Amino acid sequence: MNKLALLLAASTLVACSEETGAVTVTTWGEDYIEEGIPAGDEGFVDGWSLRSDKFLVAFSHLEVADGPGEVGGLEAQSFVVDNVKPGRKKLARFSELEAKAWDSVSYRIEPPSTDATLVSATAQDLALLRRGGYSIYIEGTATKESVQKTFALGFGNATQYSHCQAEQDGKTTLGVVVANGSEETLELTTHGDHFFYDRLQGSAGANIQTSLRFETIALADADDDGVLTAEELEAQPIDLELYDPSGLPADNILEFMTSLSRTVGHFRGEGECTWSQVED
């Protein structure tokens, strides 16, 4: 074999040994955001139902890394999404990732930058988030029999979601396992119903149920004009017979919902991440 043939064979061997795959990051709001939350066992326990007209979320700092800290993909760019728009939306794609376990997936929900990429959102949506300093903004209408209450609320929490894990093929998997030639999808799932939970932390036991409630929120409409404002929610105290602050500071409905806004970020459906406040 001549020298050129040897070089070609060696380069082919090296190329074959570099096993890689790709990861696409998407987001979805699930049926409760796209279609609404019903009354009854699958929704509000106090007879209300709810339709979302807008559910803006600002994502950033999408990262796929491994335990020792090697970063396979990082997209620090802001993305603004209206998850009322149906279907899964693509945020970013990381190609040529080494085929292995990337067990440290993380992302942020935080107020967007001025040059945020618009994904199923408009320039007006971005301007709204920027003007209010919001990371999440929700508009909707709740209905009980002939009564309707509308709301338009923004939340400015900057939250880091780390160590994301979800059940895959019957077992809990940290992050994502990339196989050679694979095209994996990581879904950053938004759970909009969490804004209406009656507990700030998970139930202590199976006998303590977390429920969705709207009645106390509706009672905040002090002038009975059918429009719930942030000021009215802040003036509405928590009914401790119905709500459990779980030892966290939340004296009124607005504080309660603001704390719950940190829990809306999930991973691959029902998967969980560890969340923490992003420091300035």
Residue 142 lies in a domain: yes
Say yes or no to pLDDT of 280 above 90.
Answer: no
Separation CA 28–CA 83 (nearest Å): 6
- What integer best gives the mean pLDDT of the chain? 92
Residue 256 lies in a domain: no
> Exposed/middle/buried for 99, CB within 10 Å: 0-12, 13-18, 19+?
middle
What pLDDT does 31 receive? 96
Residue 32 lies in a domain: yes
Q: What DSSP string describes 265-277?
A: B-BTTTBEEEEEE
Residue 33 lies in a domain: yes
Within 13 Å, how many C-alpha atoms sit on residue 217's CB side?
31
Instruction: Write out the two tokens for 261.
Output: 């806004």
pLDDT range class, residue 149, cuts 50, 70, 90: very high
pLDDT range class, residue 29, cuts 50, 70, 90: very high
Residue 257 lies in a domain: no
Residue 63 lies in a domain: yes
Residue 149: how many other CB atoms lie within 10 Å: 22
pTM: 0.91
Say yes or no to pLDDT of 15 above 60.
Answer: no
Domain range enclosing 104: 19-190+265-277
Closest alpha carbon to 66 in 101, 111, 27:
101
Residue holding tokens 């719950």? 260
Domain count, the chain: 1
Residue 135 lies in a domain: yes
What pLDDT does 119 receive? 96
> What 3-state class would DSSP assign to 185?
strand
266 close to 194: Cβ distance less than 8 angstroms: no
Say yes or no to pLDDT of 136 above 80.
Answer: yes
Separation CA 265–CA 59 (nearest Å): 10
Residue 24: how many other CB atoms lie within 10 Å: 16
